[in-house]
Every structure is written in C-alpha cells, then in structure tokens.
Amino acid sequence: MYTLRLYHDSLPAGAVADPVDTQHAILYVLKGRPIINGKEVPADTAKYCMDNIRIEAGAEDAVIWRFELIPTDAPKAYLTGRGIDSQLKMLRRVRMFEMAPRQKWLFRLDCIYNNLGSTGLHSHPGSGIRCLLAGNLHVRGTLGEESDNQKQGDTWYEEGCYPIVSTTYGDDPTAFLRAMVLPVEYADYPDTAMWIEGAKVVQSDWKSYSQQIVRLR
C-alpha cells in the first residue's frame, strides 16, 4: 500500500534542515529561493527528489509544499532544524490502484490556473492531493470527499475514479496544484479529465511543474 502525503515547511533565512528520507517527492517552492539537494530552486518552481532531501533556506525565508509518494507504513518525515516549522497537511492512501513494489507509475505535479466556472461531472484516471494557490474551489460528489477551499494552502483529496463537480464562485480566477499518481501511459497527456455529464462551463489553463516515471520500492 502506498500513500500520498503533503507537508508545508517554513524555513527562516539561513536555516539548514536536517536531512529527511523519502521514496519519491516533489517539492514546490511557494516563497523564497531555497537550496534543495544542492540546487537553488526559485519560487513557483518545483524539484523532484528521490531517497533523501536536504534543504537550506538560503538568504531569504522559504516556504515549501512537499508532496510525497511513500509506503503507507513509512514513518512521518517532518522537517526539523532551528526555527523550522513543518506541518503534515494531508495524507491519503491511494485506493483506486493496487500499488505494489517494483511497479512503475507517473508522479506528476501540475497547476490548473485562470480557472472559472463549473466542470460538470467528471473523473480522472489517477488520484491526488490538491492545494489551493488563489481563489476558491468547491468540490462535490456522491462518493469520496467533498471540500470548500477558500484560502491559500487549503488542501483536498480526489480519488480519481469517484466522479465530482468542481465549481468556483465569484469573478476572481482560481489556481491550484495537483500532485497525482497516474498510469505511465498518461505521460503525454496534460488533460486527464474525463467528462461524464452536465454542463461544462469552465475555463482554465494548465502548467506542468514536474513529472517522473517512478518505480516503487
């Protein structure tokens, strides 16, 4: 069994975090220019890490959203160090797939932005954690989880096989990250939504931050 986890890590300028072990992780930098595994990563970009993660805040305060794909029984991996705040925002076991060691999967972090309107009833070929960057998004479905997301950092989970309707309210566009586990054949497909019924009165744009074909261990 494998689980998706999301940590929000805040590091003051100059902080050096203790190394953390992982299996597969994608780190999105919300703020600052931290050094992740020896490479400076500016805000609004992401870096994929495997096995271990070493983070230094650099000259500025840094905020990192850390998405992990990891065995369900693996210990929690809070970031520790002087002045560092690390919070586990969400963890969910991926249930729509029979995930096992040695299998390969597509691990993707992307962004839906300039999103306005309602999707109609739709599903996805993979599951994932979402995290709000701006605006609002309200998720409804007869199965799975429902959520009302209205401030930056609000987090929700979509088990892709459960059909949902996502709706924004007001005139301000919404943006949110999606960390998803997908079959590898979707590597060439940015749009994975499969519409089922209802009015699709939504507009949006798409941005890719990172995608890796990973082997589970």
Positions of the chain with pLDDT lower than 50, given as ranges: none
Alpha-carbon span 29 to 20, nearest angstrom: 17
| pLDDT given for residue 199 in this prediction | 64
Length of the chain: 217
- In this predicted structure, what is the pLDDT of residue 37? 98
Tell me how far apart the 2 most distant CA atoms of the chain are, in Å.
52
pLDDT of residue 197: 77
Question: In the chain, which segments carry CATH 2.60.120.10?
Answer: 2-91, 104-215
**pLDDT, tens digit, for every residue of 141-157?**
988 899 999 999 999 99
- pLDDT at position 52 is 95
The CATH superfamily assigned to 104-215 is Jelly Rolls (2.60.120.10)
Query: Percentage of residues in the chain with pLDDT exceeding 70?
Result: 99
Give the integer Cα–Cα distance in Å for 210 and 183.
Answer: 15
DSSP assignment of 124-158, as one string? Answer: -SSEEEEEEEES-EEEE-SSS--EEE-STT-EEEE
Question: CA 122 to CA 49: how far, in whole Å?
Answer: 31
Question: pLDDT digit string (tens) for 84-106?
Answer: 999 999 999 999 999 999 999 99
Please state which architecture CATH assigns to domain 2-91.
Sandwich (2.60)
- Comparing CA positions, the residue from 130, 125, 123 lying closest to residue 106 is 125
Cα separation of 82 and 35, whole Å? 16
